[in-house]
DNA sequence: CGCTATGCCTAACAAGCGTTAGGCAGACGA
DNA sequence: TCGTCTGCCTAACGCTTGTTAGGCATAGCG
């Protein structure tokens, strides 16, 4: 029962740098070709199966290469996952800002909130596996990966604070409800939508956005 | 480089029943002693780490036994998980019904909705690891486990359909928002609360329930 | 005293995990 | 034509996963 080691006589001669390659992830933005395909596949798997069940070999298979070859593009599984979730936040952030930017300059808080909700939902339910991955898989990500996108997430949530604040200033929120609660209500509802939304179902995304908005913001009429 | 198989000569002689024990989970309700401790530990781990990262050995260690001994109480990991998530749904269902039952008979839709929200939040954020486990870990559970509690979940959601319908009949919902959307908005918000709520934070549970309720239901004043 | 059942342990199984070493085929520049 | 680089492969490392076999010590009962 000799240890397998030593019996095989593996060739170990290269004294050259032990870390052979792995381009260390361009950090910045683009990612093309194989590197991009790897991110795409990881995003889809993360969205569908979560972090632990998204294996390096499954990613590789989806791309059409073998498990070990992944490491010629990224230094580790977590580096890939990190890039995917950061991209997911970036995408939804941009989508919401784009929806807001497309509005006429004099758009009121109701229209702006609806646009933000629509942008978020379109990104997470329809356009981007990255965004849905970063929402659905986030909870059970390793701590360091979660912390690696904390800033991005907080920056994104700032949009929602602002939009809710606008609604509050316009008197569209109940007097006795905190802005925090309203923001958390809305973000929770849109983030959870991935758990029940199915394309082609009774509620199209536009209708969800419209109904969510009208449920929370209604012209206040002082009665007392 | 001989295959490891065959070289070991494992003893396989017992022709007696291959499945030695595993009481097959009493299905019903109680679960006491060691079996209960195993469920408790599993619920906590599921809540904190999710399904894949909740290992049989980790459960065993939390209970103070070794990995293999788990199988003298349950036939498989999934059987334990199944029982935990079912119990989680049962607990929150009961909690919400208890809150509603504690209300005066003439309580209106606003008070009833607030009670339902409070019951759900208390169960998932404060009282029950089972409930939070069944909410947080549900998404990435194996298909058969998910389906094993589909009925229980649908039964539970029926309460919310009813409460939202009451609010609609009382004219507390915007005319152009569907009841489905309002229910999904609310359930999403309360289910997502586990992702941000921290005990002792700015928003106590009662305040969350109250603010969520007031954000969605406000006395309608026909203006048109 | 002997019997059986309980409740746990040790040790292992096969499979799968992230990761690494080294080789090799083709492209490209000198 | 030679050398280097790129992009993938095979094969393995060490470890962990869910699960099972078998043993042993105690308890209760005849």
Residues A146-192 have pLDDT tens digits of 999 999 999 999 999 999 999 999 999 998 899 999 999 999 999 99
A7: the nucleotide nearest its CA (via C1') is D12
CA of B26 to C1' of C20 (A): 48
Give the CA count within 13 Å in the CB-facing half-sphere of A28: 5
Confidence band for B189, pLDDT divided at 50, 70 and 90: very high
Confidence (pLDDT) at B7 = 26
Residue B218 binned pLDDT confidence (cut-offs 50, 70, 90): confident
Question: Distance, in angstroms, between A215 CA and closest chain B CA?
Answer: 5
Lookup: tokens for B84: 């935990």
Look at residue B12 and tell me whether its pLDDT is greater than 80.
Answer: no
Are B144 and B136 contacting, i.e. CB atoms less than 8 angstroms apart?
A: no
CA distance B186 to chain A (A): 7
For residues A189 and A209, give the distance between their C-alpha atoms in angstroms, rounded to a whole number. 10
Backbone region of residue B24 per phi and psi (left: phi > 0; alpha: psi in -120 to 50; beta: other values): left
Among A188, A207, A208, whose Cβ lies nearest the Cβ of B193? A188
Q: Å from A74 (CA) to C22 (C1')? A: 19
Residue A95 confidence (pLDDT)? 98
Distance CA B3, CA B11 (A): 18
CA distance B214 to chain A (A): 7
Q: Residue B43 pLDDT more than 90?
A: yes
Cβ–Cβ contacts within 10 Å for residue A67, how many? 13
Counted residue by residue, chain B has a size of 224
User: Higher confidence at residue A83 or residue B2?
Assistant: A83
Which chain A positions have a beta carbon within 8 Å of B184's beta carbon?
189, 192-193, 196, 203, 208
- Is the pLDDT score of A22 beyond 80? no
Q: Give CA–CA dist B46/B132, Å, rounded.
A: 9
Helix/strand/coil (H/E/C) assignment for every residue in A140-185: HCCHHHHHHCHHHHHHHHHHHHHHHHHHHHCCCCCCCCCHHHHHHH
Contact A190 B188 (CB under 8 A): yes
Residue A64 Rama label (left phi>0; alpha psi -120 to 50; beta): left
Residue in the structure block whose two tokens are 């009382």: B170
Residues B158-175, mean pLDDT to the nearest whole number: 95
Task: Kindly list the distances between the CA atom of residue B154 and the CA atoms of B139, B162, B164, in Å, as whole numbers in the listed order.
Answer: 15, 12, 15
**pLDDT tens digits, B47-104:** 999 999 999 999 999 999 988 899 999 999 999 999 999 999 999 999 999 999 999 9
| Residue A55 forms contact with B (CB below 8 Å) | no
The gap between A3 CA and D14 C1' (Å) is 13
| pLDDT band at residue B9 using 50, 70 and 90 as cut-offs | very low
Instruction: Give the containing element (helix H, strand E) for A115.
Output: helix A109-121
Q: Could you tell me which of B64, B29, B42 has the C-alpha nearest to residue B145? A: B42
Tell which A residues from 82 to 101 touch B, by Cβ distance under 8 Å.
none
Measured distance CA(A56)–CA(A191) in Å, rounded? 27
Q: What is the mean pLDDT of residues B108-127?
A: 97
Quick one: DSSP state of residue B21? -
Q: Is B212 on the interface with A (CB under 8 A)?
A: yes
> Quick one: pLDDT at residue A31?
55
A222 touches chain B (CB under 8 A): no
Q: How far is residue B83's CA from residue B100's CA, in Å, rounded to a whole number?
A: 26
Q: Is pLDDT larger for residue A1 or for residue B54?
A: B54
pLDDT of residue A218: 78
Q: How far is CA A23 from CA A149, A177, B224, in A?
A: 21, 50, 63
d(CA B34, CA B62): 11
Query: pTM of the full predicted structure?
Result: 0.86
- Residue B58 CB lies within 7 Å of the nucleic strand D: yes
Banded pLDDT at B220 (limits 50, 70, 90): low
Whole-number Å distance, CA B27 to C1' C5? 23
Task: Give the mean model confidence (pLDDT) for residues B192-199.
Answer: 97
Instruction: Flag the least confident range among A127-131, B13-17, B179-183, B191-195.
Output: B13-17
pLDDT of residue A219: 67
């Amino acid at each position: 029962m000799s240890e397998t080691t030593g019996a095989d006589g593996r060739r170990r001669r290269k004294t050259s740098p032990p870390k052979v390659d792995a381009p260390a992830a361009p950090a910045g933005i683009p990612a093309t070709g194989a590197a991009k395909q790897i991110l795409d596949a990881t995003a889809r798997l993360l969205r569908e199966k979560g972090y632990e069940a998204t294996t390096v070999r499954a990613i590789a298979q989806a791309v059409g290469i073998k498990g070990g070859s992944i490491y010629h593009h990224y230094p580790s599984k977590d580096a890939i996952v990190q890039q995917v979730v950061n991209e997911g936040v970036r995408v939804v952030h941009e989508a919401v800002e784009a929806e807001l930017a497309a509005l006429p300059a004099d758009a009121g808080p109701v229209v702006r909130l609806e646009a933000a909700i629509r942008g978020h939902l379109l990104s997470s339910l329809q356009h981007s596996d990255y965004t849905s991955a970063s929402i659905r898989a986030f909870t059970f990500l390793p701590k360091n990966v979660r912390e690696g996108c904390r800033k991005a997430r907080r920056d994104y949530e700032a949009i929602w604070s602002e939009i809710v604040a606008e609604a509050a200033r316009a008197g569209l929120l109940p007097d006795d409800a905190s802005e925090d609660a309203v923001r958390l209500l809305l973000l929770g509802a849109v983030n959870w939508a991935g758990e029940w939304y199915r394309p082609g179902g009774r509620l199209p995304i536009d209708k969800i956005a419209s109904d969510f908005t009208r449920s929370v913001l209604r012209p206040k009429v002082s009665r007392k």
